[in-house]
Amino acid sequence: MTTSTAAANHPKTAKTAKTAKTAKTAKTAKTAKTKTKAEAKAKVPRTTYAKACKAAGRTAKELSQYYTDTQIAGGYVNKVLARSSDRPFDTIIEPSAGTGAFSRHLGPDCIALDIDPKAPGIEKADFLEWTPTAPTGRCLVIGNPPFGKKAALAFLNHAAKFADVIAFILPRIFRKKTQQNRVDKNLHLVHEEEVPANAFTHEGKTVDVPCVLQIWMRGLKPRVKHTLTTTHPHFESCSQEEADLVIRRVGAHAGLLKPLEKNWSAESNIFLRAAGCSRDEMKQRFARLDMAAHACNGAGGGSINMSEIVELYEELAREAALAAPQTGLAMLDQPVPDMSGAIAAKDAPVETPRTAKETAAPAVEDPDVEVVTEARDLDAQPALRHVVLETATGAAAARQTVARFNATAGAADVITLSAPRSFRKMSVQNRLDRHFHLVEDGDGEAKVTGPDGHVRSLPCTIQTWERRPEPRPKHALAACHADFEFCGRAEADVAIQRVGNDAGRLKTPEEVRSAQSHLFLRALGCNPAELWARLAAIDFDTVRHNTAAVPSVAKPEIVALYEATRGIAAAATAPGKHPLAPASGAGSAPAGTHTEGAAEGATPPLDRSWSQGSATPDRTCRRPHAALRPCRRLVATLCRAFSKPTENRAALSRERSVRLSISRV
C-alpha cells in the first residue's frame, strides 16, 4: 500500500473529500437553479392585467369595475374635445370601456376595448396587450382605467406609446409628485380637476370614490421630473424618544399632529426633532401647515411623506419671506415668527411679544359704543346694540376676528370692526353671520408696536355690518367661465401673476419663470386676442391687496371681476340704462373692489354680486373714486374689449348721469 493510497483511505481524509464533493454538488445545483430561473423569466411573457384578474376570480372588485356616470363622462368628453377644437382627433380610444360611458358619446368610430365588455360594440381585449394595427394620426385615449394592481399607471404609460392626448379618471394619488414622476417622461400634465361625488356605479350601487380627471399631452421635449427633497435644516427625522413632533403618516388621520405622550408605531408615523430652530418655533410653524388636506391625495385613507412635508414647510417660508419687506412685520393672518430663516437657518426668527398693542380709530365715533376686546366678555354685556371690535393681533388675526364677529352677532344690531384687508375676500365674508350685511367699507391703519419698540402702521379695512331680516346670500366662488378655463402652461394663451407685488399682471406664457406663482388661462368662448383685451380691461390693483400677507389674486376673483366688467360693457350699450348706476335698492361693491379700463379714468363698477346692502366708502380711502374724471374712455374701452359697438351715441351721451350716480357713492 502506497503512501497516497493510505492517505486516501484514512477516515479523516475520506470525510474531507466527501464534504468537498457535497459542497461542489450544492454549488452546481444552485447555479443550475439560478440559470433555469433566469431562462424561465426570459421565456415566459409577463403576466397581463387580464390574466391576473382571471386568476383572482374575475369579480367586479378584482376587475376594479367602477363604471363612470354617463352624464359625467359626457361632460368630460365635451371638455376634452373643446380643448382641441382647432386640432380634431383622427383616432379616439376608450381602453376600459365597461358599459361604454365614454364611447357612447364619441360615435361608432371610437375604438372601445375591455377585458369584460358590458355593452354591445365593445371589443374584448386587454389594453395592455393591445396596439393599433394602423397609423392612428392624432390620437386621443380617454376613459376610466382600473385602479387595482397599479393598473392605472400601467394604462397611462401604455397609452403614451401612441397617444397625443390622454384624458383619464385617476386616483387622487396621481396628484402626488412621487406618482407623477412615474408617468412617461414625454407626457405633460395640462389639466386637472376633482371628479364630483357619487360619480361611479359598483355592483349596481352608486358609490363615491375620490378621484381626479387629468389630461396629459405629449410634448416636444421630455418632462422634467419633480425634485423631491427629504431633508431641511430646521428639522430632522429621529426616534420617538428624541422627537419634538409626531406626524401621522398614513390612515384616516394622515397629516395630523399627534401628542408626544403616547406610544406610536414607527411604520405609521413620522418623528421629527428641531435642528435649526427651537422646539416651540418648529411646533408653531407646523401647526400652520395644512398637511391633512395634502394627505388626502394619498392612496386608501391618505398618506404623506417627508418630501411633501419639506415642500409645504418651504412654501410657508417663501410666503413669509415675501411678506416681510412689504409690512416690516409678520403677517397679520399668520403666526408672528418670521419664516425667512427657513432659507438661511442661521437667521433666527424674531417673535413679536404677546403684549404688543394695536390701536385703530373706530369707523364711527360714538361715546356710548361698547368696545369688546374679547368674545368671552359678551356674557357680561346684555343687549348690545352697536359693537366695535378692535383689530386682532398675533397668530391668525383674520380667523380670530371672524370668531369674535360671530360671537358678537347674537347680541348686536350693528358691528363696526377694523380687520385685516383679507376681510374683503369673498371667502372670508362667507364665514360671517349671514344675518349681517356689509353697509360700509373703508381703508384705515392699525398701529402696532414691534419687538424693537417702534410703532409701525399696518393697512387694514374698517367695515360696518348691519343686521337685516333676510339672510345675506353667500358669494358664489366660481372658478370657471364660459369664455376661458384655467389650465397648464403648455396650453395657456394668457398668464396672470398670482402672488407678489405684480399680482394681476398679464403675461404671455413664455414670459413666466415660475409656474407656481402664476395662473394660466386658455380661451374657450373667444379667441386669445379677445381674451387678452378683456382681461386687460380689468383692474386687479385693489383686489390683490385684499390680503393680510402677500398681494395675491385668486381664481374666483378673476372670474368675478371678468363677469362684472362684462356686465358694465353690456349695460353701456343697453338703451335706457346707466352703465355704472346702482341697481334699484341698496346695493354696491365694497370699497377696494372695482374694475376699470386700460385707459386712465376708469370707474369702479357697482354690482350686487359683490356685496349686499348700500355702501358708503370712508372718506379716508386711499383710492378715491374717479367719479369726476371723464367716463367716455371707460365705456369705449370696455365696449371694445367685449366686442360691443361704440358708435351708440345714446350710451355715450349718458356720461353726465353716470358721473352723478358714481359721485353719490
How does pLDDT run across 549-567, given as a tens digit for each residue? 678 888 888 888 888 888 7
Lowest mean pLDDT among 203-212, 312-321, 324-333, 517-526: 324-333
Q: Amino acid identity, residue 325?
A: P
* pLDDT at residue 180 is higher than 90: yes
* pLDDT at residue 399 is higher than 60: yes
What pLDDT, on a 0 to 100 scale, did the predictor assign at position 576?
55
* pLDDT at residue 201 is higher than 80: yes
What pLDDT, on a 0 to 100 scale, did the predictor assign at position 322?
56
Query: Got the DSSP string for 151-170?
Result: HHHHHHHHHTTT-SEEEEEE
Lowest mean pLDDT among 90-104, 198-212, 535-549: 535-549
First-residue to last-residue Cα distance in the chain: 128
pLDDT tier at 130, thresholds 50, 70, 90: very high
Phi, psi for 283 (deg, rounded to 5): -65, -40
Query: Got the DSSP string for 231-299?
Result: -BTTEEE--GGG-SEEEE-BSTTTT-EE-TTS---TTTEEEEEESSS-HHHHHHHHHH--HHHHHTTSS
pLDDT tier at 184, thresholds 50, 70, 90: very high
* pLDDT at residue 664 is higher than 50: no
Query: Got the DSSP string for 570-611?
Result: HHHHSTT--TTPPPSSSB-PPTT-----SSTT------TTT-
At 574-620, the pLDDT tens digits run: 665 444 443 333 333 333 443 333 333 333 333 333 333 333 333 33
Q: Compute how many other C-beta atoms are within 10 angstroms of the C-beta atom of residue 57.
A: 9
* Helical (H) or strand (E) element with 649: helix 649-652
pLDDT tier at 455, thresholds 50, 70, 90: confident
Instruction: Please check whether residue 350 is in contact with residue 324, taking contact to mean a CB–CB distance below 8 angstroms.
Output: no
What pLDDT, on a 0 to 100 scale, did the predictor assign at position 42?
40
What pLDDT, on a 0 to 100 scale, did the predictor assign at position 300?
62
Of 298 and 480, the structure prediction assigns the larger pLDDT to: 480
Of 17 and 80, the structure prediction assigns the larger pLDDT to: 80
What pLDDT, on a 0 to 100 scale, did the predictor assign at position 539?
76
258: which strand partners? 246
At 216-253, the pLDDT tens digits run: 999 989 999 998 899 999 999 999 999 999 999 988 88
What mean pLDDT, rounded, does the chain reach? Answer: 71
* pLDDT at residue 27 is higher than 90: no
* pLDDT at residue 651 is higher than 90: no
What pLDDT, on a 0 to 100 scale, did the predictor assign at position 92?
95
**Cα–Cα nearest to 186, from 169, 165, 206:** 165
What pLDDT, on a 0 to 100 scale, did the predictor assign at position 292?
81
Q: Are strands 111-114 and 91-94 parallel, antiparallel or unpaired?
A: parallel
What pLDDT, on a 0 to 100 scale, did the predictor assign at position 574?
65
Instruction: Please check whether residue 67 is in contact with residue 98, taking contact to mean a CB–CB distance below 8 angstroms.
Output: yes
At 260-270, the pLDDT tens digits run: 888 899 899 99
Please give the average per-residue pLDDT across 188-204, as a whole number.
Answer: 89
Please give the average per-residue pLDDT across 91-112, as a whole number.
Answer: 92
Rounded to two decimals, what is the model's pTM? 0.45
Most confident of the following: 51-55, 207-211, 364-368, 388-392? 207-211
Please report where in the chains the cell 420617538 appears, as a residue: 240
Instruction: Please check whether residue 433 is in contact with residue 406, taking contact to mean a CB–CB distance below 8 angstroms.
Output: yes
The C-alpha atoms of residue 401 and residue 374 are separated, in whole angstroms, by: 10
Q: Is 413 exposed, middle or buried (0-12, 13-18, 19+ CB in 10 A)?
A: middle
Contacts 24+ apart (CB under 8 A), 37-45: none
Instruction: Please check whether residue 443 is in contact with residue 470, taking contact to mean a CB–CB distance below 8 angstroms.
Output: no
What pLDDT, on a 0 to 100 scale, did the predictor assign at position 19?
52
Angle at 632 between CA 630 and CA 638, to 5 degrees: 125
Most confident of the following: 52-56, 212-216, 461-465, 637-641? 212-216
The C-alpha atoms of residue 609 and residue 600 are separated, in whole angstroms, by: 25
**Cα–Cα nearest to 235, from 199, 279, 179, 266:** 279
Of 357 and 570, the structure prediction assigns the larger pLDDT to: 570
At 623-649, the pLDDT tens digits run: 333 333 444 455 556 566 655 443 443
Instruction: Please check whether residue 138 is in contact with residue 89, taking contact to mean a CB–CB distance below 8 angstroms.
Output: yes
Angle of the 306-327 helix axis to the 279-288 helix axis, nearest 10: 90
Q: Compute how many other C-beta atoms are within 10 angstroms of the C-beta atom of residue 96.
A: 26
Q: 386-467, what's its fold?
A: Translation Initiation Factor IF3 (3.30.110)
Phi, psi for 106 (deg, rounded to 5): -110, -5
Give residue limits of the domains in the chain: 66-218, 235-321, 386-467, 484-569
Q: Are strands 235-237 and 257-258 parallel, antiparallel or unpaired?
A: unpaired
Q: Are strands 518-523 and 358-359 parallel, antiparallel or unpaired?
A: unpaired
Lowest mean pLDDT among 30-44, 55-69, 117-131: 30-44
Lowest mean pLDDT among 48-57, 62-71, 340-349: 340-349
Instruction: Please check whether residue 215 is in contact with residue 240, taking contact to mean a CB–CB distance below 8 angstroms.
Output: no
**Cα–Cα nearest to 347, from 380, 324, 381, 371:** 324
**Cα–Cα nearest to 146, from 171, 125, 167:** 171
Please give the average per-residue pLDDT across 476-501, as a whole number.
Answer: 86
Most confident of the following: 10-19, 103-112, 607-616? 103-112
Please give the C-alpha separations between residue 223 and each of 141, 180, 184, in angstroms, as whole numbers: 19, 10, 9
CATH superfamily of 66-218: Vaccinia Virus protein VP39 (3.40.50.150)
* pLDDT at residue 442 is higher than 50: yes
Listed in sequence order, the residues at least 6 apart from 368 whose beta carbon sits closer than 8 Å to its beta carbon are 386
